[in-house]
Chain A
Amino acid sequence: MVKLGKYSRSVSIIGVGCTPFMYVLDSPETEGLTEGELFGYAALDAMKDAGIEAKDVDFYFHGQASPTMGSEYITPNMQVADWFGMRGKASIHHSEACCTGYLALEQAVNAVASGKYNIVLSGCVDMADSRPVADMPAHKRRKFSFEEFVYSTKFIYDRAYTRSLDAGTVIAFDDAAAQYARENHLTDEQMDDVLNAMSINNRRNAAKHPLALMKQEFKDIAKENGFDDVMDYMRSPYNPRMSEYLRVSGVELKCDGAAALIVCPTEIARQFTKNPIEVLAIGSAAYEGSQCHLEARGTAEAVRQAYEVSGVKPEEIDLFYANDFIITSHLISAEIAGYLPKGEGWRYILDGRTAYDGDKPINTNGGRTSFGHAHAASGVADIYEAVNQMRGLCGERQVKKLPRTVMLRGFGGGQNLASIILRTLQ
């Protein structure tokens, strides 16, 4: 087992930025936006938040889930640099599919903790709703069809064995739901209600977030379709099953967006902001798609590392985020992290306790099923939300108790797992 060492020097987040998560092709106001522009706007927002300019940034990291497919780029960090004033400065690109945005923080923190750089920007962008039009300038894109997306998901699996054995179970990570239902003796109907309740919760949160993709609550969609009870709607063919357990409401909404953050040594953080957020720990693990129950195993290991190196206890976590491109993640990762009691989390969800105004809030931005999933950018968007919750800036979706300690659980990329612990600097 890996034992993490303490950072050589403490690192804090001093700025965050995020674009709306959107379908750029669906609005005349956004159609034509490019990946360089999205990354640039998110990066500039983060710099403005930190009170710095590009000249102050020593190095930047660029994350994109699949630059070859999404942008026809091999080294996309080169193509965005000029868009926010970073021409000539060193940078690298990294790509861990849906976990990219969480590991974007890890890259930046390591670069500062090592002592090599003082001010580092880490940003991620994906235009997951569209693809480039061949041989046309960047503002010309076309829709990325669902069929193309499903086909492309095999690219996260090993070609030697996983694809031929069908060991990756495509993108339906239903094993987490199957395992949870079996171990906790839930009927299929109970598990269905738990998954639906999480989807409702995510959407209720997203409805109050100005940057979220989907803002219409399921209770209103239900009424429009003649259902007085939202759960009756969620159980109906209006919300069809996509796999044995998951309904369409519990599957990611791939979309376009970017987000960025700025970190620096904690010892100088107050020069830039009055409320720095210290990165206490980042635990991580990785399993190839052929490995059984990889999400649960990898989450357990990442969480163990983060708690061990930070000394934080599960009961100290005030707010939890899970990358829930499969809604089940929302429940199982919160239980594995000890944020919800083992085997009891499903009751908390059905009782509404994980809503933004509950006592155990999860995914206050609406998560991947409602805030949206601009694949690489989603993790940084979650950090953006966590930081703003910790600053008390989230308006009507602000959680009841100002969170001091927050955990984010990253997941994705065939598959990386990450567990981040943030704490408001006293």
Chain B
Amino acid sequence: MKMERIVKRFYDSLEEGKMMGRKCQRCGAVEFPPVIACNTCSSTDMEWVEISGRGRLFDFVLPGVLSSKPQNEVLQPYCYACVELEEGSKFNAIVCGVSKNNKQDIISKLQNNLPVPIKARIIQREGYKTVVFDLVTD
């Protein structure tokens, strides 16, 4: 099997302003962040696709003493969230724009099955770029 440098391509693409995932050619599931094989149907027939960055937040916690990190101070206010991309991938990530002030509003939306939309943003960390999300407000 051809050995592709998937992790390297993911980070190289971020340097070019693109968020890349891999779409299964058998079942259509999208893996983001990208990996070799499909975790839905096990196929290795995957093609690179650019991710829209649009998605939804479906659970979250605010940072505390144990989970606060100095490098995230520039992102305040933020939360650690469970997110789902419109392409279908679900994973944990940072979502900016969430604080004690709007926590209850977001919980109410989740309890009433209302969407909490988010949009991805590429940020610079020390030595590499990564992805965080912003709450999309009306």
- A residues with a Cβ closer than 8 A to B are 150, 160-162, 164-172, 174-175, 177-179, 182, 185, 240-246, 251, 289-293
Contacts and interface: CB of A to CB of B under 8 A. Distances in A.
Contacts of A171: 66-67
Contact of B80 (A164, A166, A179, A182): A166
Given A165-B91, A165-B130, A172 B66 contact: yes
A44 B118 CA distance: 57
A170 B61 contact: no
B7 A160 contact: yes
A243 B64 contact: yes
29 contacts: A160-B33, A162-B92, A164-B125, A165-B93, A165-B94, A166-B69, A169-B61, A169-B67, A172-B64, A174-B61, A174-B64, A175-B59, A175-B60, A175-B82, A240-B65, A242-B64, A243-B63, A244-B62, A244-B63, A244-B64, A245-B61, A289-B92, A290-B92, A292-B58, A292-B59, A292-B82, A292-B90, A292-B92, A293-B59
Contacts of B80: 166, 169, 174-175
A160 B32 CA distance: 12
Which one of B72, B92, B125 has the highest number of Cβ atoms from chain A below 10 Å of its Cβ? B92
Given A161-B33, A166-B80, A174-B61, A291 B67 contact: no
B107 interface: yes
B81 to A, nearest CB: 9
A241 B66 CA distance: 9
Given A161-B33, A164-B128, A182-B110, A243 B65 contact: yes
A171 B10 CA distance: 26
Given A161-B7, A164-B130, A174-B64, 19 more contacts: A165-B33, A165-B91, A165-B130, A165-B131, A166-B72, A166-B132, A172-B61, A174-B80, A175-B60, A175-B61, A178-B59, A182-B59, A182-B111, A243-B65, A243-B66, A291-B90, A291-B91, A292-B91, A293-B59
Contact of B61 (A160, A161, A165, A244): A244
A150 B66 CA distance: 8
Contacts of B83: 292
Given A165-B130, A292-B59, A170 B66 contact: yes
B61 to A, nearest CB: 4
The A interface, classified by DSSP as helix, strand, loop or mixed, is: loop
B93 A167 contact: yes
Contact of A242 (B58, B65, B90, B131): B65
A181 to B, nearest CB: 8
Interface of B: 7, 10, 33, 58-67, 69, 72, 80, 82-83, 90-94, 107, 110-111, 125, 128, 130-132
Contacts of B93: 165-167
A243 to B, nearest CB: 3
Contact of B67 (A165, A170, A290): A170
A171 B64 CA distance: 11
A246 B125 CA distance: 29
A175 B58 CA distance: 11
A292 B60 CA distance: 10
Contacts of A178: 59-61
Contacts of A185: 111
Nearest to A166: B94
A170 B94 CA distance: 12
Contacts of A164: 125, 128, 130
Contacts of B58: 292
A171 B69 CA distance: 12
Contacts of B69: 166, 170
B67 A179 contact: no
A150 B69 CA distance: 11
A129 B12 CA distance: 41
